[in-house]
Each structure stands twice: as structure tokens, then as C-alpha cells.
Structure 1
Amino acid sequence: MAEGAIRLEGRQQELLGARIGGGRYQIIQIHGTGGFGETYIAEDLHRPDRPKCVVKKLSPSSREPKHLKLARRLFQREAETLEKLGNQHDQIPQLLAYFEEETEFYLVQEFIAGHPLSNELPLGHQLPETKVLAILREILQVLGFVHSQHVIHRDIKPSNLIRRAHDTHLVLIDFGAVKGLQTAGDDEFVSDLTIGIGTQGYMAPEQQAGHPQFNSDIYAVGMMAVQMLTGIAPSQLPRDADTGEIDWQDKTHASVGLVNVVQKMMAYHYKQRYQSTDEALQALKKLSLHTTLPSMLSDLLQDAMPGQEEVQATQPWPTAFEEGDDLPPTQPPPTQ
């Protein structure tokens, strides 16, 4: 067993059954770990049916007053964002509680039963174009609401979208990296929170430099579209040394119309992208019937011939990888 798996198993045993929040929430599983802390699945013992919930613990790296102040602001901002967004949109988890215990901070959120979108994107498998279009429209619609509340998510990726079990809608999770639009006069700690947060491969260039824009989220959606259309993880796609653009168009069978829309979504410079989710949605709607009809026919043929291999298939990794090499993961584990 790998060393990391052994540590996680030991941590599971250590925390299993532990209670937090004045004894209200009983941990039943570690859901994920990261640089800022841990995420648990817990049961709410103060409710008769003991429903599951997601508990995020933020552990400051230092107990120095300056660092605790920064952690408190990060914690409070995520709580405020979830409170505002989750209460107004069905595809964003609701905030149930937040509290501080022994200089560690906890957020309690609605548990979303389902599976991460990353489960639907195996390496080497290209999704049919009609499915890609449906996914893009749904993500952009949810993002449109988020942006209307003056919030940039900054960590759009397949593992942060949950396919909800009861209705198959996509739910956007993990608002720990959000950035609200700031006004002049905000203190240095808030601006510090904007630096270098996101996931490599999906993160726009300006976001990596600490200057996220609303359409930095659109860039991430575009990178997800490329992953769906090529079957290749974003980190494995080459970038043009002169332009900075990702080279991917020759690795998909998608229509020219969709390729052009996706390319504009993920243009290297943010001023050359769609400036809003509405613009991107309108571009998707304007794709002509001639663009999507071949893909629709392909989908129908695929459904009519179960057991046949998908015609849209690629090799999961570049030829640079030799047999027996350890293949790198495509992205971090899902968190809520």
C-alpha cells in the first residue's frame, strides 16, 4: 500500500466517530485533504434522521496573529459566499453552519449525493458533441448566476462539479478559492488571498499571475471542453511557444463551429475571450444545425449499436510515456 494511502487510512481510523461543533456533527469519513485543511462527511446528530453533511476544516499554517487574521478572513469570505449563493440557486450547495474551535475553522454544507463529473471523463475517451454542448450550457448558466453576484469561482474543474443523483443536474461546489470584487480600501490580507489559487491545467494565465477576471472561469470551462472533446488531460496538451495557445484542434473530431467557440473561450489573453457567460452561451446557440447534425447522427448510431467501440477514441497519454512509467494524475481528488 502506498505511503499516502497508509497515512489516510490511519487518519480515517483516528477521526472516525469524532464529534465537532459542540458534539453536533459526527465524522463518518474523510472526504478529501488539501493545503488548507480537510473535508469530512459527517452526520448531524441534532436532527432526527441524522442527515449527512459536508464539513470543511480550515487549518491555519501558523498560529501567529497575522496568519490567524488572514485565515479568519478566508473562512468568513467562503461562508458569506456560500450563504449568499446557496440560498438563491439550486445548483450550489447551501451553507448549514460555520464555527471556530481551538483556532480551527469549520464550514458545514449541504451534502450532494451523486458523482463528480470527472468520473464521466476517462482518459482516451472523447464525449459525443451533443453531450459536450449540454454540459457546457449547464455549467455556463450556473456560472452566469455566480458572476451576477460579483463572485469569481477560480477553481472550475470536473471534480468540482457533482452530477446530482436524483435529477442528474450539475452542482458547482468548492468555493474556497472565490474572489469577490473588492473596493478601494480593503486591507492587505484580502488582496493576499487572490494569489495563485486554482488548479494547474484549468487555470487561466492572468489568474496564475494573481489577477483573475470573470472570464478566467470561462477559460477553465473551455479547458474542460477540450478535455471532453480530446480525451486528453489539460496538463498533457502542448502549448504554442509563440502565442501561448493550447494546441488541441487536431486531436478531436468535433465540428469546426464548436472548435472555434471553445478556442475563443480559452484564448490566452482574457481580452480575446468571451467577456461574459451570456456571450459564450449565445455563441453556442448560434452554432448552425449543419455543425451539430453529424454529431447527433453519430450519437444515434452509437445508441443503436451497444457494445461497439466509440468512434471518437484517442490514446490516453502522449507517446513520450514509456511502458511501465508512472502516469501522472489528471487532477486533485474531489472536494466539497
Structure 2
Amino acid sequence: MRQGDDNSLAAEMKREKIAEIEEKVKSEFENKYQVLKRLGCGGMGCVFHVQSTDESGGDYALKVLDKEAYRKNRLLYKQEANVMLNLDHPGIPKMIDVTEDDDYLYMVQEFITGKPLSQIIREKGRLEAGKISDFMKSVASTLSYLHHQGLIHRDIKPDNMILTADGGITIIDFGLARKKEQIDEADKRVYGTLSYTAPERFNRKPGTVQTDIYGYGAAMYQLCTGKKPENMKTEPWHSYQVMSEHLSETMPSVAGEIIKKALAVNPRHRYLSFDAILWDLSHENKMRTIKDEELIRQAIEVFLIFSTLLFIGLISL
């Protein structure tokens, strides 16, 4: 079989699978929801925009996971539902219901109206500096809540951040989220999008609070610069230097310094928590004063050294 025929067959199989899932959704939920639109499909299933058929007429996202697609990782397919069922935060979609049959797992979630930050970056290039701090605080606050619940997200990127009509940011896609202390199959490989993957993950180090902080830094870097984060797989120190220079050019502020620290190659040099990030963001004026004082101190030291050398030179004449 030629490559083109092989690709066509794979595409046809995918169409058949999607059609099967759509029919399954309609038959399983015809008395509860009307399917308005298919939002997307991937290797693990599909997501639909549905509307309740009762008087409320509420909008929801119905996520369908194909159990067969998880045959090598059977323990993972319920992970997202288990993580989200007990979460209650305005920056996280509320899980409404979870059901399953022999073939599929169905998750009904709050439907979030808005645009992914990745789309906004594509449209605008980069965001205005005045909005960056607010966005950084919004995302950091949500991730702080998640970490305090004993969970990590493991897939932080602009695609998974939705800017809503009220100006807030909602974090979506908890398919890779897990408990902090739990090591799973996903930790044995490099998961997620490479540009937002912390350098230690390329050495198969398990996901941690610090890997979420790196993903946060990489996402905020892209908001500030309009540039895709550097891949940290081969030359992480060089990649960090490139990103640091871009930040200095486009975001020469406390927010830029916070992002640099979140992007540190060594996880021990990053922030310990999102609470620490929030503290720095809420004390920008104080941080700016400290930075200015440090620059003044360094300038004085350089001046004194130069003056001393000049004085010694004059004496020796």
C-alpha cells in the first residue's frame, strides 16, 4: 500500500470513529442535552458543546474519552474526572457530571465562553504590557489554589488558558493533572507541548510544582514577547539566555524578572510556590525599589573601583 493510500485509510478510520462517538452521544444523552457543535477531536476522544433540554437551557462541554485509546494506560482515563470533581474555583471549569459505559467515559463540564490566549497572541503578536501583570496574577492565583489542593496540572500553556468576557482567565484541560505525590505512566515519558516543557522533564524527572511553575513562565513569556518559548531539550542554558534577553527587551520590569525566575533551568532556582509569585506580583513597587537600589549600589561600586584605579594610576606617574 502506498503512503497516500495509508493516510487516506487512517483519515477514513478517524471519520468513522468520530461519527460513532457522535451517534453514541446523541443516543446516550438525547433526553438531557442537545448537541450544538463538535468542538474538537483527538486521539483520546471528542469534546462537544451541548445545551440542556430542561428549562435552564444551560450550556455545557461534554467530553467523551474512548476507553480503547487508553488500553495501554487504563488507569489514566478517569484521572481528569477524579481530579476535577472536588475542585471549586472561578478559574477552573466546574465538573457537573461523570458517567461511563463499556466503551466511553463521559464528562459534563461548565462551558467556558472566550478565546484561548494562544489565539489572542496569534491575532495581536503580543499583549500590552499593562495587561500582563493582571493575567499573571489571575493564572498564578488559580494554580496556587490547585497546588493547595495537592494537585499539579502538568500541561500549562496558552492553549489551555481562556480569556473570558469579564477579563478573567480560566484554565482548562486537566487530562494530565495528578496528585503531587503520585507518579504515573505519563511521568515515564515527555508529555505535553515541548515548548512549555521544563528542562528536567527531558531527563524523565517526574512532574512537580516546579514543572508547573516553568510552564507558567513559558506561557507568560509568550504573552510578553509574542515569541514561542525556546525548546529546552538540547541546550537549555543557551535557550534560557535567549529568552532572558527577549524579556529584557520587551518587558524590562518586575514582571519580566518574575518570569525569568520561573523559567530558571535548575528547578531549585525557580520559585518554590505560586504564593511566592503572587507576593512578588502584589509588591511590584517594593520590588522595583529594591531593584533600583541594587542598580544604584552596583553603579556606586563601579564608580569607586574606577576612581580608585584612576587615583592609583595618577600616584604612580
TM-score by length of structure 1 reads: 0.71
Structure of greater relative contact order (alpha carbons < 8 Å, 6+ residues apart): 1
Indicate the residue corresponding to 1:283 in structure 2: 280
1:38 aligns with 2:46: yes
Indicate the residue corresponding to 2:215 in structure 1: 220
Indicate the residue corresponding to 1:207 in structure 2: 201
**Compared CA separation, residues 204 and 7, structure 1 to 2 (3 A):** same
Indicate the residue corresponding to 1:331 in structure 2: none
Which amino acid in 2 is paired with 1:283? D
CA contact (8 A) 1:237 1:246 kept: no
| Cα distance in structure 1, aligned partners of 2:70 and 2:162 | 34
- Match runs of 1:1-336 below 5 Å: 15=22, 19-23=26-30, 24-45=32-53, 47-61=54-68, 67=72, 70-71=73-74, 73-85=75-87, 88-122=88-122, 125-165=125-165, 167-182=166-181, 191-195=184-188, 196-208=190-202, 209-234=204-229, 240=235, 242=237, 245=240, 247-251=242-246, 252-288=249-285
CA deviation after TM superposition for structure 1 residue 59, in Å: 1.3
Unaligned runs of 5+ in 2: 1-7, 290-317
Indicate the residue corresponding to 2:307 in structure 1: none
CA deviation after TM superposition for structure 1 residue 262, in Å: 1.1
CA deviation after TM superposition for structure 1 residue 180, in Å: 0.7
Give SS of 2:106's match: strand
CA-atom RMSD in angstroms: 3.4
CA deviation after TM superposition for structure 1 residue 11, in Å: 7.8
Which amino acid in 2 is paired with 1:219? Y
CA deviation after TM superposition for structure 1 residue 6, in Å: 9.9
CA deviation after TM superposition for structure 1 residue 217, in Å: 1.2
Which amino acid in 2 is paired with 1:229? C
Q: Relative to total residues, which structure has the larger helix share, 1 or 2?
A: 2
**Matched residue count:** 276
| Cα distance in structure 2, aligned partners of 1:17 and 1:150 | 35
**Compared CA separation, residues 55 and 20, structure 1 to 2 (3 A):** farther
**Compared CA separation, residues 41 and 125, structure 1 to 2 (3 A):** same
**Compared CA separation, residues 246 and 53, structure 1 to 2 (3 A):** farther
**Compared CA separation, residues 40 and 204, structure 1 to 2 (3 A):** same
| Cα distance in structure 1, aligned partners of 2:234 and 2:130 | 27
